[in-house]
Amino acid sequence: MIKETFQEEAEASAKWRRAQLSFGQLSTYFVGSTLMLDLKRDVAKDRGNDFNLKEFHEELLSHGSIPIRLLRQLMLD
């Protein structure tokens, strides 16, 4: 991390320690980002030329903090 991403040694050590202690949490970030990208792709496909990224984000945020499976239902049905 120090050589390839130009982080300070203390920052790299802290990130490595966090990854070792909370590795389960980090994998959920990956799953969540994958599900969000899938939702964006599916909404864009569904709306075709009418898809607008700003409107997508505004609609997504208007539903608050709910599970992505419910966002899919709200945004694709």
> pLDDT per residue over 5-28, tens digit each?
888 999 999 988 988 888 788 888
Q: Report the domain count for the chain.
A: 1
User: Does residue 41 contact residue 73 with C-beta atoms inside 8 Å?
Assistant: no
For residue 1, the model assigns a pLDDT of: 79
User: What would the mean pLDDT of 44-71 be, rounded to a whole number?
Assistant: 97
Question: Would you give the distance in Å from CA 67 to the centre of its chain?
Answer: 12
Q: Which residue range is the domain that position 16 belongs to? A: 2-76
Q: What is the mean pLDDT of residues 29-33?
A: 92
Look at residue 44 in the predicted model and tell me its pLDDT. 98
Answer yes or no: is pLDDT of 31 > 90: yes
Average pLDDT, the chain: 93
- The answer to whether 19 and 49 are in contact (CB under 8 A) is no
